[in-house]
Amino acid sequence: MKRFEVIAAVTAAAAVLIIGASGQTRIVRQAGSRPAQQYDAQPQPPMPIANEEQNGHRAGQDRTHRVSGTTYSGDAIRQQIGLPDDIIRKIFLEYGTEDVLRTTRLASKPRNEDAVNEMAVRIHDLRPSALSKFAVIAADKFLADNGSFERLATLDCMTVLCRKFVQFRFRTGASHPRCRAVVNDIFCSTDTPGWLDMMPFLVQCGADTSLVTDLRLENNQLQSIPPEIGRLTSLECLALDNNQLQSIPAEIGQLTSLEFLTLDNNQLQSIPAEIGQLTSLEYLILSNNQLQSIPAEIGQLASLKYLFLDDNQLQSIPAEIGQIVNIVHIVNQLQSIPAEIGRLTSLESLFLDHSQLQSIPAEIGQMTSLEDLHLQNNQLQSIPAEIGQLTSLESLRLENNQLQLIPAEIGQLASLESLKLNSNQLQSIPAEIGQLTSLKTLILDHNQLQSIPPEIGQLTSLEGLILDNNQLQSIPAEIGQMTSLQTLNLENNQLRAIPAEFSQLTSLKYLKLSNNQLQSIPAEIGLLTSLENLKLDNNQLQSISAEIGQLTSLKALILDNNQLQSIPAEIGQLTSLEDLHLPNNQLQSIPAEIGQLTSLEYLKLENNQLQSIPADIGQLTSLGDLYLDNNQLQSIPPEIGQLTSLEGLKLNNNQLQSIPAEIGQLTSLKALILDHNQLQSIPPEIGQLTSLEGLELDCNMLQSIPAETGQLTSLKSLFLGNNQLQSIPAEIGQLTSLESLILENNQLQSIPAEIGQLMSLEYLKLDSNQLQSIPAEIGQLTSLKTLFLDDNQLQSIPAEIGQLTSLKALLLDNNQLQSIPAEIGQMTSLQTLNLENNQLRAIPAELSQLTSLKYLKLSNNQLPSIPAEIGLLTSLEYLNLDNNQLQSIPAEIGQLTSLKYLFLDDNQLQSIPAEIGQMTSLKALLLDDNQLQSIPAEIGQLTSLESLELDNNQLQSIPAEIGQLTSLKALILDNNQLQSIPAETGQLTSLEYLILNNNQLQSIPAELGQLTSLKALFLEYNQLQSIPAEIGQLTSLEGLDLRCQLQSVPGEVRQLKSLKRRLGSEGLAPMEVRLEWKRRRILQRLR
């Protein structure tokens, strides 16, 4: 029995009164009662009650109250309280300036016209005998008044609700036989002390708590339970799940009437031994805690039937569990099972899945009542032979273990209906499996089976057989005896043939044979008249027998990825066929009979050698998707226009030079893919495709687009890139639903102003054209997020571009721009701006307003300086300024604390500001090919730096602080005037590439031997006469260039076994290919 079934069985009651958030009240009868009835009542607010002086009453005299326009005396009220016994009633107790009682009668129709649906009186005006008439009392605001609480505590028939987590259900007394309501929903005041906090007071004031039978405190934030809970000696149900409990008081053992205890989803680390005193307990749920052990006293729970222990930290359960003779259901996660478990002879369900079990005790065979045994997802390597004694077993799950064999005794499980052995290491199945004549489901996929015993044919009740992902080379002919079989999965094996006896499986509906080595299918397959799904993809089939046409029930036929050169005409007899997959074959033609498949909805013929399509295809009026891409089609029959249900048509990658005008009749078409053909024109009838959402015409030979394209008002994406278009019709502005417009790699010289009407456009690609200007109307594209204008002939950008406040990426590289409008600063959403390879001589200070900018590319321009405002781009991560005419960098660059990549190479820089040390996120700094004479010591603060390139400068020294760059992997210093290297360089323990060639070094520090990660060290063309022996400690070194004035090479260096390339003055080894040490090559991928 599943957990929710257990809970439902325990909490079932004759009626449940539910109070909704809106104040609506309804009564719904539960299972086991009379048919459900529903009564809706909208309570009215309580009427104000006059005090005694105002009404002129003496103490003890009747008061009058006005309710719903009618005045009632106290006697009238008490009379009305005497409601008919067959109507469930509820009263609400409120505490304020006065104790107020508001009563609500819930009935479909009043018994008489004078019936009071709602009334308000003072609590103390009601006699206990009258109050006890109500089946349910909800109290939420009165607890602060001890007198009220004490008064209520004397009632022997009520339900008290307070805060979120209190519900009493009092035992029905002889004087109140109809007191039966169970209330689940609770409405209350959050500033009122909870009943749990009042429990000690209840005991002190003499409240008769022994009558409480049901206490629900689930779904709160309780961290502890008071020991007074032990006083509730009549308690039958205690719900404490979904709290934050770390322990349970020992007094819980006093609840000897308890039948149902839920403690799941807490933080319990242990359970008190006193739990063993709960001799009436039937349901114990301890799931999802932090339990490491269970007390041995659990064996004393003689009435226990259901035990849930899953999702804890248990490694074992006590042997005493074998004493619980009545238990029928266990859920657990363990590393071992005690042999005493065999004593549980009444156990019906044992769930031990998702544990770390390595073995099962032989005593499991003694559990002869067992019906469900779940052992999946463990580490079992074997199953005891005694499992064959479980003659009542109906379901056995052993999947996802490490089983290498199954005992022959499994054949004794005569009641077994479901057996799951998938995802193990089984190499064979015992012949005795044929004795499981009740078996309906057998799952053996993902094993190492090489054969199946012929006895499997004796499983005449089997309905599902799953054998995919094994190493089967053949199937026994006896499989044909399994006449009840409906599903057979043999995918992903090594089958080269299937026996003709398959034809006897007349009940078969699903046959999966994909991913095998089948070269043919027997003609007898035509006898499988019940077959609905046939998968034969990814085999070596060269032909299909004509008998396949007899499968008149077939709905899906999957034949892709074979070697089929033709399809039999009989395929036209498959009148129930809905899906036909034939892609990735060698088909050169399709039989005309395909037009008879009037139920066909999905036809895939892509990646074949088709040169034509039969006109009969127009008869497929149910067809929704037609894939003909990657063939050799030169034309499409006009009958294609008859496919009025068609929604997707793929014709890309063919040799089409035209498409028929009838394509305009496909009014249901949503996607038309025609890219990579030889189309020179598009018929104007395309404008009739009013449902079209996607049109792909890129990579053709189109010179123009018909104006009727503007009628495609549903179009969302239009791909026209890589054609020969010289202009775009103004009607394109009518495509108000368009989101993506691709026009790159054409011959466009201008864009119509109407493009500004595309208010939904988000993606616009105009790169690689001949555009000299952009219309100002482009500023109206307020939804635009990406704009590609690179590789054109633009000399200026309209100021209106600043209105594109949603734009995230603007690419303007490879143009002839000499300036950028200041309005660019208004594009506050911009994240990427590429202005590389232009003729810019300045950038506007307003660029600093682009606070979302992450990538800024300005390389290959004519910039002599950078404005100080660049420091305001605090989100910038990538800045490329190489190949300009920069002579200095503003100190404000240090404010770019998010910057990761800074490219300043190929400029005229003579110095670097000390503030560069503030850029602590920097990973790559390129300063090569400048005129630097020194590096500031603050560079040592760049602790995230991985690549530093300083080659081709005029450096005479390196600051010692460079040793602080512990993340540095590449240090490039060649072609400078260095005379020495600081010893601190030896601290660069992450360094992999150190390039020092073409300097004036006379020595290198011995500390370089500490660079244990170093892969390449280049020292050629220096003035070195010796190198320290410590270089021999560089055990990761793969490339070493020592071409200088060395007199000798230390023996330690000669013995470096890791070296792949070495070149020195002695010609030790020719270096044919220089190592790719230059980190710039890696960083260029980011540009």
Kindly report, residue by residue over 726-754, the tens digit of the pLDDT. 999 999 999 999 999 999 999 999 999 99
- The Cα–Cα gap between 407 and 386 comes to 9
Pick the more confident residue, 292 or 141. Answer: 292
Q: Is there a domain that residue 67 lies in?
A: yes
Q: How would residue 327 be classed by pLDDT, with cut points 50, 70 and 90?
A: low
Q: In the prediction, which pLDDT does 169 show?
A: 32
Q: Nearest Cα to 399, choosing from 334, 354, 430, 462?
A: 354
Shared domain for 452 and 572, answered yes or no, is no
Domain termination site, one of 216, 244, 271: 216
Same domain, 524 and 503: no
Average pLDDT over residues 219-246: 86
Note the pLDDT tens digit of each residue in 243-265.
Answer: 999 999 999 999 999 999 999 99
Which pLDDT score is estimated for 332?
A: 62
Co-location of 63 and 134 in the same domain: yes
Structure confidence at residue 862 (pLDDT): 98
Lowest mean pLDDT, pick from 298-312, 469-483, 636-650:
298-312
Residue 164 banded pLDDT, cuts 50, 70, 90: very low
Query: Is there a single domain that holds both residue 1068 and residue 1050?
Result: yes
Give me the mean pLDDT over the 671-680 stretch: 98
Q: Does residue 540 share a domain with residue 503?
A: no
Give domain status of residue 261, yes or no: no
What pLDDT, on a 0 to 100 scale, did the predictor assign at position 32? 32
Q: Is the pLDDT of residue 210 over 60?
A: no
When mean pLDDT is compared across 380-389, 576-585, 1057-1066, the lowest value belongs to 1057-1066
- pLDDT surpassing 60 at residue 1065: no
* Residue 839 domain-assigned (yes or no): no
Range of the domain at 445: 426-517
Number of Cβ atoms within 10 Å of the Cβ of 921: 15
408 is a domain residue: no
How much is the pLDDT for 338? 83
Mean pLDDT of 945-957: 97
In this prediction, residue 2 carries a pLDDT of 37
The reported pLDDT for the residue numbered 172 is: 30
Measure the CA–CA gap between 932 and 917, rounded to whole angstroms. Answer: 17
Report pLDDT for 217: 79
Cα–Cα distance between 845 and 831 in angstroms, integer? Answer: 17
What's the whole-number mean pLDDT along residues 310-335?
72
User: 309 pLDDT band (50/70/90 cuts)?
Assistant: confident
**CATH number, domain containing residue 466:** 3.80.10.10
Q: Residue 212: pLDDT band by 50, 70, 90 thresholds? A: low
Q: Do both 488 and 561 map to the same domain? A: no
- For the chain, the residue count is 1087
Strand 99-105, strand 89-95: pairing: antiparallel
Q: Of 165, 188, 216, which residue sits at a domain end? A: 216
Instruction: Identify whether residues 508 and 538 lie together within a single domain.
Output: no
Q: What is the pTM of this model?
A: 0.74
Q: What is the mean pLDDT of the chain?
A: 81
User: Is residue 274 over pLDDT 60?
Assistant: yes
Q: How far is CA 117 from CA 123, 618, 883, in A?
A: 18, 70, 88
- Residue 46 and residue 139 in one domain: yes
Residue 558 covered by a domain = yes
- Same domain? For 39 and 79 the reply is yes
pLDDT attached to residue 1061: 54
Mean pLDDT across the stretch 780-799? 97
| pLDDT computed for residue 330 by the predictor | 62
In this prediction, residue 299 has a pLDDT band, given cuts at 50, 70 and 90, of confident
pLDDT for res 334: 67
User: Which one is predicted more confidently, 294 or 856?
Assistant: 856
**Structure confidence at residue 142 (pLDDT):** 37
What pLDDT score does 445 carry? 97
CB atoms < 10 A from the CB of 1076, how many? 11
Q: Does 363 have pLDDT greater than 50?
A: yes
Residue 203 or residue 747, greater confidence = 747
584, part of any domain: yes
Residue-level pLDDT at 328 = 56
Among the listed ranges 150-154, 394-398, 603-607, 970-974, which one has the minimum average pLDDT value?
150-154
pLDDT at 209: 53
Least confident of 143-147, 792-796, 912-916, 1052-1056: 143-147
Burial code of 837-849, b = ≥16 C-beta within 10 A, e = fewer?
Answer: bbebeebbebbbb
206-220, 361-375, 528-542, 869-883 — which is least confidently predicted?
206-220
**199 and 77 together in one domain:** yes
Q: Show Cβ contacts of residue 274 under 8 Å, excluding neighbours closer than 6 positions.
A: 250, 251, 252, 253, 297
Last residue of a domain, one of 489, 517, 545: 517
Q: How confident is the model at residue 855 (pLDDT cuts 50, 70, 90)?
A: very high
Is residue 529 very low, low, confident or very high in pLDDT (cuts 50, 70, 90)?
very high
No. of H helices and E strands in the chain?
A: 8, 47
The total domain count for the chain is 4
57 and 90 belong to one structural domain: yes
Q: Is the pLDDT of residue 888 over 50?
A: yes
In a domain, 49, yes or no: yes
In a domain, 420, yes or no: no
HSE of 518, CA atoms in CB hemisphere, 13 A = 30
* Whether 9 and 106 share a structural domain: yes
Label residue 293 by pLDDT band (50, 70, 90). confident
